[in-house]
Amino acid sequence: MDQRPIGVFDSGVGGLTVVREIMDQLPNEEIIYFGDTARVPYGSKSKETVTKYSKQIIRFLMTKNIKAIIIACNTASSNSLEEVQRTFDIPIIGVVEPGAVMASRTTKNNRIGIIGTEATIRSKSYENAIKLHNKDIQTFSLSCPLFVPLAEEGWTNNEVAYLVAKKYLEYFHEKQIDTLVLGCTHYPLLKDVIQEVAGLNVSLINPALEVAKNLKELLLLRDGLRDSSESPKHSFYVSDNTTKFEQIAAIALKKSIPHARKIDIERY
């Protein structure tokens, strides 16, 4: 047994979808969440900057006596996982590997599409992880920079969302993919229009769903689950604006959260 909490971080609010999965699958675990709302988004930034930010956040989370870290952000997982795993002496799980395994198991014709931020696509993280799993799979990757602002504007199912999805996903015409990885935590919010434009024969993969499973396996392996004698107390931290974060968190988690605290992440 290990009573210490799990650290989870994201560039903003998107990682709360991962938190919800962890709460569902591991209801006794305590979670410390950090959302980098002052420096969001990461998707257009360099590997070096994203890695620097990830390290600051991990240093902050490690002051909270945590037992493991989940990088709930695709861009940070893609660009900094290897480096932070080398740097810090704590188990760190990203979203890419679980998502890649799930996609590899789902495809029947060995043709997988991947959409994500510029930094995620540039890193080739999903491509490499999928090919490591099955070298016969062909991948087709595309960055969709407008999907995050569309989701944040709440325009997830109107004619603008449809037109933008159509314009981006044109790229996959005639690629005959049967599986499409939603390689950014915001994209599942647009899944209806993405499914409509991609076609019903394409399976959409949401890596967030797989991460909680990987965490559970890791904790079981290390005999590191928390016992249930006391119900878990979760904590939420952000680098900007707690009010807006709390509103979105309540929607994403389908329950109200304890007051989020703002910290100066640049000091870590």
- State the nearest-atom distance from the C-beta of 145 to its own copies, in Å: 5
The helix (H) or strand (E) run that includes residue 138 is strand 138-143
Residue from 131, 133, 138, 145 that binds its own copies (CB under 8 A)?
145
If one asks whether residue 222 binds its own copies (CB under 8 A), the answer comes out as no
Which is closer to its own copies, CB of 120 or CB of 239? 239
Question: Shortest distance, CB of residue 263 to its own copies, whole angstroms?
Answer: 12
Which listed residue (3, 28, 49, 106) binds its own copies by CB under 8 A? 49
| Binding flag, residue 46, its own copies (CB under 8 A) | yes
Using CA atoms, how far residue 91 sits from 67, 71, 109, 175, 259, in Å, is 7, 11, 34, 37, 28
Query: Is 223 flagged in the annotation as binding?
Result: no
Which of the following is catalytic: 184, 193, 198, 211?
A: 184
The answer to the question of whether 43 is labelled as a binding residue is yes
Position 54: which residue type? S
Q: Tell me which long-range contacts 200-205 makes (C-beta under 8 A, separation of at least 24).
A: 202/113, 202/177, 202/178, 203/106, 203/107, 203/178, 203/179, 204/180, 205/99, 205/102, 205/103, 205/106, 205/179, 205/180, 205/181
Secondary structure, 3-state, 107-135: CCCCEEEEEECHHHHHHCHHHHHHHHHCC
Asked whether the beta carbons of 118 and 92 are under 8 A apart, the reply is no
Residue of 2, 83, 178, 240 that binds its own copies (CB under 8 A): 240
Question: Is 184 an annotated catalytic residue?
Answer: yes
CB-wise, 24 or 266, nearer to its own copies? 266
Interacting residues toward its own copies by CB under 8 A: 37-40, 44-46, 48-49, 145-146, 148-150, 152-153, 155, 158-160, 163-164, 167, 239-241, 266
Catalytic (active-site) positions: 73, 184
Binding positions for substrate are 10-11, 42-43, 74-75, 185-186
